[in-house]
Structure 1
Amino acid sequence: MKKLKEFLTANRHFFILLYYFVILFGYQLLNKYTVPKYYMYHPIDRYIPFVPIMVVPYVFWYILITASLIYLGFTCKKDFYRLALFMFGGMTLCYIIFILFPNGQNLRPVITETNIFTTIITFIYTLDNPTNSAPSMHVIDTMAVYIALRKNEKLSKIKILQTTSAIVTILIIMSTVMIKQHSILDVMYGLLMSLVLYIMIYRIPYHKFKFAAKKEAQQQV
């Protein structure tokens, strides 16, 4: 019990992941009750083929997210917090957008083939209604991991890892439209939100604001 207590104390930052249950509850609620008023479609969508095998990188997303959070949680708390803020902050913003701008898509094909890939896609379609698609949370979380791995001091020096990360990121983003879970518009909005989150989390020097506030307080004294 003592060792368990010490472990939990040393790794209490992992408790932030409990917010995932709030995210999951919100997802289930919106997935069940959202009635789309706006449908995402761009002429480019008609030229994007339905490629069942692309469900592999789509599903690999879950492994990538989990592995990245665990690794950074045990090796770099700063990067862990930034990744968690990027992901959870992004998904929370998405839920607000879904409420204010209830949307969906009508791109899913009638699946006639029967193989392992189409079976998985059919299962995904069953669990996930074609609603709340823009912006794509799949894209946002993928970009969150990609940026976190690039910004990590240790991992940024491993070129093969960075190259692999870039390829996996591209494949996951491509998979969202190639298994017809998203419109190209969803991807674009997801990338745009990722850019905003990146600037807010990684580029704004908040420490300078703290320093300025501290300096001003000292001058007042």
Structure 2
Amino acid sequence: MNMKSKAAAFIKKYKHAWVFMYILIYMPWFMYLEKHVTSNYHVIHSVIDDKIPFIEYFIVPYLLWFVFIAAVFLYFFFTDVEGFYKMAKLMFTGMTIFLIISTLMPNGLHLRPMFFARDNVFVDMVRMLYRADTPTNVMPSLHVFNSIGACIAIYNSKALRRHKIISWSAYILAGLIILATMFLKQHSVIDVMAAFLMAYTLYQFVYVTHGKKVPKLSRQTAFWLK
């Protein structure tokens, strides 16, 4: 097989990569919001937020979110096309809803500490995070939503459910990431709850509804084959 044939076969096998073009919609929209939502935004706050301490060590799972989401996406991309489409549909729909909410109701936080009680490498990492990421466009939390979305995809994968260590490691990491959003004062409890609500709602449409349609279609097919 020559290079041209190999390239054609590769493109045909991974033609579902077109889904990643969503980044061309998401990133410009998100960067616009980050640049323009700097004042006159709705402040998200709960009394529970004031009782949650700042713990800089949670910067580790918070940053591992990027690796976690990328790894889960790539796993499904290369091994389970149907699972990849479902995961992308869930996550990208939620991310679009997030952009719409941030556009129609600009929001932000006033939770970040003005001073740090300790001085260590983890605090330095948090400082870098604060400089790179504005405390605006926070509801619902995409760190939380996408972590839940990855767990939903893993839970609904027959192949991954057989590997308990991998599955439960992913669930634990996702849990730590969700906690990190609050302990680092990156998100309010309200942002977290909104992310859970959005994930649960979209799960019904992407996974539950689809699961009900498949058996029904199978019964209809069996009937006509008789």
Structure 1 residues not aligned, in runs of 5+: 216-221
Which amino acid counterpart does residue 25 of structure 1 have in structure 2? P
Match of 2:158 among 133, 149, 153: 153
- Tell me what 2:224 maps to: none
Distance across 1 between alignment mates of 2:84 and 2:195: 21
- Comparing 84-93 and 36-45, the one that deviates more: 36-45
Distance (whole Å) between structure 2 residues aligned to residue 136 and residue 36 of structure 1: 20
Distance across 1 between alignment mates of 2:115 and 2:7: 49
- 1:28 corresponds to: 31
The answer to whether the aligner puts 1:57 opposite 2:72 as a matched pair is no
Q: CA deviation at 1:207?
A: 3.5
Distance in 2, matches of 1:111 and 1:179, equals 13
Which residue of structure 1 aligns with residue 87 of structure 2?
83
Q: Distance in 2 between matches of 1:87 and 1:20?
A: 12
Which deviates further from its counterpart, 63-72 or 13-22? 13-22
Residues 115-194 of structure 1: matches in 2 within 5 Å? 115-194=120-199
Structure 1 window deviating more from structure 2 (60-69 vs 108-117): it is 108-117
What's the offset of the Cα at 1:111? 4.0
1:103 and 1:131 in contact (8 A); partners too? yes
Specify the alignment match of 1:7 in structure 2: 10
Kindly provide the amino acid, as one letter, of the partner of residue 191 in structure 2: D
Secondary structure of the residue aligned to 1:98 is: helix
Match of residue 48 from structure 2 = 44
Aligned length: 215
Residue 213 of structure 2 corresponds to residue 203 of structure 1: no
1:118, CA displacement in angstroms?
Answer: 1.6
One-letter amino acid of the counterpart of residue 174, structure 1: L
Partner-residue secondary structure (3-state), 1:204 = helix
Instruction: Supply the distance in 1 between the matched residues of 2:92 and 2:126 (Cα, whole angstroms).
Output: 25
In 2, Cα distance between the equivalents of 1:115 and 1:28? 31
Relative to the length of structure 2, the TM-score reads 0.88
Instruction: State the TM-score, normalizing by the size of structure 1.
Output: 0.90
Deviates more, 1:199-208 or 1:154-163: 199-208
- Match of residue 94 from structure 1: 98
What residue number does 1:218 align with? none
Q: What is the root-mean-square deviation in Å for CA atoms of aligned residues?
A: 2.2
Q: Could you tell me which amino acid in structure 2 is paired with residue 91 of structure 1?
A: M
State the percentage of identical aligned residues.
34
SS for the counterpart of 2:136 is coil
| 1:64 counterpart letter in structure 2 | F
Partner AA of 2:22 in structure 1: Y
Assess if the C-alpha contact under 8 Å between 1:36 and 1:104 holds in 2.
Answer: no
In the alignment, is the contact (CA less than 8 A) between 1:55 and 1:175 conserved in 2?
yes
